[in-house]
Amino acid sequence: MESPLLPGGTIGILGGGQLGRMSAIAARRMGYKVKTFDPSSTACAAAVADDHTTAEWQDRAALTRFAQDCGRITLEFENIPPATVEWVAQSVPAHPSAKVLATCQNRRREKEFLKAAGIPCAPFAVVTSLAELKQATQSIGFPCVLKTADFGYDGKGQVKLPDASADLAAAWEKMGGAVGVLEGWIPFQMEISVIVARTVDGRTAVYDPAENIHRHHILHFSISPARIPAPLLQTAKNLALEIAQKIELVGLLAVEMFVCDGKILVNELAPRPHNSGHQTFDAHQTSQFEQHIRAVCGLPLGGTEPLVPSVMVNLLGDLWHGGQAPDWTKVLNDPSAKLHLYDKGKAAPGRKMGHFTVTAPTLAEALQRAEKIFAALERSGK
């Protein structure tokens, strides 16, 4: 059994985005050294790392050099080739494994895993041709949604097919003819997500679900804990724990779920810190980023209790106008609001530039203050 990597050791993070940046901040706070690896030299995690490697995922010589003085390797980005993780894992324990990554980054494998594990999810069929798509709409029925198997997140690579008049050929064309998954459309009442951590020796910790509100398919607000009855909250946590065990997770896993007519259906898995867990930085006993580090290093896991109700609001590049950042005092003037900016440089529509978290004695108050701040921020840039 691999031994824990204690503070003072070096953690290598594959990927240099905001999830890596916040994981690195948590790791450094605990006394670890951090190295990041990303094809971009301006990756925002690099600024808080001890060392940054700029190289392609396929560059084995660079990966070997990167891994050399790491005691553990992890990742923060889902679309890394599993072969990259496999390569570094030959010399250093790497979590999550290439196998977990390969399952989660492909919708077909992910769905097939969930089905085989007996986890409730939307009905689906794998489609590899237009003829199969036509056939699948018969068994799944309308409305349904066609999704590409690879590289799908934040609503990318999907087409909704509302009824039998939908143009299947156009939908298939739009998918680029790649392998797809046709899913039944779930008339959900709420979207939630649960973050679960698991160590190499099977210890687990799970957070309460967060309630997620999207705008244009990108997370907008994350409300914690989700406003669902306690038994359903527990069901969601149990499902996440079951998935973590069955997939043999080591590290952190975010499980996105639909709440529909008092039942929970699992939508997606992400084996890394998740946007809907950012509020754990300011509102929970242990942040998801610290938990990520603890899990991959084999340390005792931290408490997951919410200390206070919270609402996290994403700050997308749409808030910038003519290169001008919005007026941050709108956030900072609220003494309970915490501003997190990722130092990403150029803002672009849809680009995640930062977030803020509002805490309050009640969820209703946190939500009201978060909405007010966001509206003021939006107005400030115009």
Nearer to ligand AMP, 174 or 214 (CB): 214
Neighbours of 307 (CB within 10 A): 12
Decide if 349 contacts 316 (C-beta within 8 A). Answer: yes
> Among 143, 105, 106, 102, which residue's Cα sits nearest to residue 123?
143
β pairing state of 190-198 and 251-260 = antiparallel
- Three-class DSSP category at 289: helix
Whole-number minimum distance, CB 217 to ligand AMP, in Å? 5
DSSP secondary structure letters along 37-59? EES-TT-TTGGGSSEEEE--TT-
Which of positions 169-228 make contact with ligand AMP (CB under 6 A)?
A: 183, 185-186, 191, 214, 217
- Three-class DSSP category at 85: helix
Cα dihedral 165, 171, 172, 178 sign: negative
Using rule CB under 6 A, residue 267 touches ligand AMP: yes
Query: By Cβ distance, which residue is nearest to ligand AMP?
Result: 186
Contact range with ligand AMP by CB under 6 A, out of 150-158, 297-305, 344-352, 356-364: 150-158
Contact range with ligand AMP by CB under 6 A, out of 12-20, 43-51, 151-159, 339-347: 151-159
Binding map of ligand AMP across residues 222-261, x = CB under 6 A, - = no contact: ----------------------------------x-----
Whole-number minimum distance, CB 136 to ligand AMP, in Å? 13
> Among 19, 56, 61, 18, which residue's Cα sits nearest to residue 37?
56
Whole-number minimum distance, CB 124 to ligand AMP, in Å? 8
Whole-number minimum distance, CB 339 to ligand AMP, in Å? 26
List the one residue from 16, 152, 180, 271 that touches ligand AMP (CB under 6 A): 152
In whole angstroms, give the CA distance from residue 178 to residue 150: 8
Total residues in contact with ligand AMP, by rule CB under 6 A: 14
List the one residue from 141, 155, 345, 349 that touches ligand AMP (CB under 6 A): 155
List the one residue from 92, 114, 122, 175 that touches ligand AMP (CB under 6 A): 122
β pairing state of 144-148 and 51-54 = unpaired
List the one residue from 153, 285, 325, 341 that touches ligand AMP (CB under 6 A): 153
> Residue 294, class by beta-carbon neighbours within 10 Å (0-12 exposed, 13-18 middle, 19+ buried)?
buried
Footprint of ligand AMP (CB under 6 A):
122, 145, 152-153, 155, 183, 185-186, 191, 214, 217, 256, 267-268
